[in-house]
A and B are shown apart, each in its own frame.
Chain A
Amino acid sequence: MKRRDIIILAIVLVASLTLYLLRPKAIEDSAAAVYLRISIAGQTQELIPLTEERAIRIEQENGDYNIIQIFKGGFRMLESNCRNQDCIRQGDVTADNIGGRALANEIICLPHQLVLSLVTEDETVLELDP
């Protein structure tokens, strides 16, 4: 490795560390009611309170579908007819595990442009300021 290779590496590490330290860690008010926000291609479709256990099927016009399992305080992706199945592997989202998840409060199904987010009622779980 040459001198400027190491400078490049240092820039990357500093930028990563900065983002890591600024990342959203948890819901501030632990007693706040949590909701599941479903959005497709950036448009919010529904806001569902996470109070009882049930499954929701989301079907899009082109035949894409996802099934979400909702439980008290959280949700997970149960089924998807996308090819890569990344969304299933993203596991559970609950108010407590946001800080430890790579995608924080979200489950993303990229091929279906579907984003599931855990939010509080005013949708301010995630703010860009720490």
Chain B
Amino acid sequence: MKTRRLAFAAVLISVMMVLGYLESLLPVSPIPGIKLGLANGILIISLYWLGVPASFQIMLIKNVLLGLLLGNPMLIPYSVSGGILSLALMSILYRRQGISPIGVGIAGGVTHNIGQVLLAMIILGTPSLLFYLAILMPSGAVMGFITGTIAKVLMRHFPPHKYLKQQINIQTEETIP
């Protein structure tokens, strides 16, 4: 059972890495900090299917690997601080009544930007960066709406039991001789 989960987590990380690579090929936005963040859609799926602790591990591994391979290692702390804050809020929200993956995506996209800006305010000593969030938060909401919708559609068409639960059951049956 653990092997299945581990393999599935590894698949999700690979998908996130590929999406991160594809995004790095897009033209850079003239406003720093605005990003599509497609990988966040996969992280939302991971949250619903693999739970909170596994998702934190996936987020950390993805951010560090992608930062080392494609980005700037100096900027890893920013993506990690955004990732931690965003995943923390998404973890609180995702099981609540009346919230769909779209709302989770919006909250996650916005808090990702907040986490990054807060760290920059501390490291650079520039409290005025707070106002930059007036631009980044709506953009994070739009991107979060897109990634949340993608996660929702994917989860509807690829229900987890097909790929996880059923296989987990088969696996556990096999281990009982």
Binding site for B on A (CB under 8 A): 1-6, 8-9, 12-13, 15-17, 19-20, 22-24, 39, 41-43, 82-86, 89-90, 102-106, 108, 110-111, 113, 115, 117, 126, 128
B103 touches A5 (CB 8 A): yes
B177 on the A face (CB < 8 A): no
B128: which of A1, A13, A113, A126 is its contact (CB, 8 Å)? A126
B74 on the A face (CB < 8 A): yes
Residue on B nearest A111 in the bound complex, by CB? B74
CA distance A113 to B145 in the complex (A): 31
A20: which of B99, B129, B134 is its contact (CB, 8 Å)? B134
A8 touches B134 (CB 8 A): no
B107 on the A face (CB < 8 A): yes
CA distance A42 to B106 in the complex (A): 31
3 nearest A-B residue pairs (beta carbon): A42-B125, A5-B103, A19-B134
Q: Which residues of B contact A108 (CB under 8 A)?
A: 32, 120, 124, 126, 129
B141 on the A face (CB < 8 A): yes
A42 touches B124 (CB 8 A): yes
CA distance A6 to B138 in the complex (A): 14
Q: Which residues of B contact A89 (CB under 8 A)?
A: 28, 30, 32
A1 to chain B, nearest CB (A): 5
B78 touches A110 (CB 8 A): yes
A18 to chain B, nearest CB (A): 8
- Proximity string of chain B (52-64) to chain A, C-beta cutoff 8 Å, 1 when within and 0 when not: 0000000000000
A12 touches B106 (CB 8 A): yes
Binding site for A on B (CB under 8 A): 28, 30-32, 71-72, 74-75, 78, 93, 96-100, 102-103, 106-107, 110, 120, 123-135, 137-138, 140-141, 145
CA distance A70 to B59 in the complex (A): 41
CA distance A16 to B114 in the complex (A): 11
B138 touches A16 (CB 8 A): yes
A80 to chain B, nearest CB (A): 12
Q: Which residues of B contact A19 (CB under 8 A)?
A: 130-131, 133-134, 137
Given contacts A19-B131, A103-B132, A39 and B124 within 8 Å (CB-CB): yes
CA distance A4 to B100 in the complex (A): 8
CA distance A4 to B123 in the complex (A): 34
CA distance A85 to B71 in the complex (A): 12
